[in-house]
Amino acid sequence: MSLGPRKTPKQGRARATYDAILEAAAHIIAGQGLAAFNTNAVAERAGVSIGSLYQYFPNKDSLMAALIQRQQEAQLATLQAAAEMIGSEKTLEKVVRSLVRAAMQHHRENDLLASAIDHEEARLPVDALLSSYLEKAGAVVEVMLERFQHEIPSIMPKVAARTLPALVRSVTDAWANLRPPQLEKAEEEAVRAVLGYLRIGGE
């Protein structure tokens, strides 16, 4: 089963249709959950024919894979923006908290959609997408860690930068995907886990 889009939109109108389909899918999941998510409902919500939807997405799972990629790109943009804003921050703990909060932003904006996408990430063969996201997020984290190398001299920023985004995702999922979601607890536990990793490794 193919999870890639059937064709990539290149012109303005095609891009608008593609984006409308993705937005409709996100809206349905955010409002009604995965049980209401199907290609007919998405096409109706987007105002396109089912044939137009299938021009881009051969099946429901390929549409979900595109949603996963879209969310990962949004998370990465949020993380990069946070890194730029905290560039002058002097304490490791505040930097870690800001990065964790940025990584969790998708849960704060719409927890039902974020939890559904997390669930589908575990079900679908999207390892390449996840690996790409972790690599790019790790590059952002690596730059931040290098500023605090004097506090954590035994930590290798390149290695830690690969571990920390995965660690934050794991801790966040353990708490944020509960019903009701415990976002504050998720943030605190993720910050504690990251600082523990850095400080124990830095001794």
Residue pair 63/120 in contact by the 8 Å Cβ criterion: no
Question: Residue 66 contacts by C-beta under 8 Å, 6 or more apart in sequence?
Answer: 5, 22, 57
Per the structure, the count of domains in the chain is 1
Residue pair 78/108 in contact by the 8 Å Cβ criterion: no
Domain span holding position 164: 66-201
Residue 42 resides in a domain: no
List, as own/partner pairs, every contact residues 8-16 make where C-beta atoms lie below 8 angstroms and the sequence separation is at least 24, other chains included.
9/56
Question: Residue 67 contacts by C-beta under 8 Å, 6 or more apart in sequence?
Answer: 22, 25, 26, 29, 117, 120
Residue 86 resides in a domain: yes
- Range scoring the smallest mean pLDDT among 27-31, 154-158, 187-191: 154-158
Which amino acid is present at 117? I
d(CA 162, CA 40): 39
Identify the three-state secondary structure at position 188: helix
Residue 175 resides in a domain: yes
CB atoms within 10 A of CB 144: 21
Residue 9 resides in a domain: no
d(CA 36, CA 126): 22
Q: What is the CATH number of the domain that holds 150?
A: 1.10.357
Q: pLDDT tens digit string along 4-51?
A: 767 777 788 889 999 999 999 999 999 999 999 999 999 999 999 999
Q: pLDDT tens digit string along 71-123?
A: 999 999 999 988 888 867 778 998 999 999 999 999 989 988 998 998 899 89
- Range scoring the smallest mean pLDDT among 67-71, 141-145, 186-190: 141-145
Alpha carbon 57 to its chain's center: 21
The tokens for 111 are: 């927890």
Which amino acid is present at 174? A
Residue 196 resides in a domain: yes
Residue 23 resides in a domain: no
Residue 17 resides in a domain: no
Residue 108 resides in a domain: yes
User: 0.85 exceeded by the pTM?
Assistant: yes
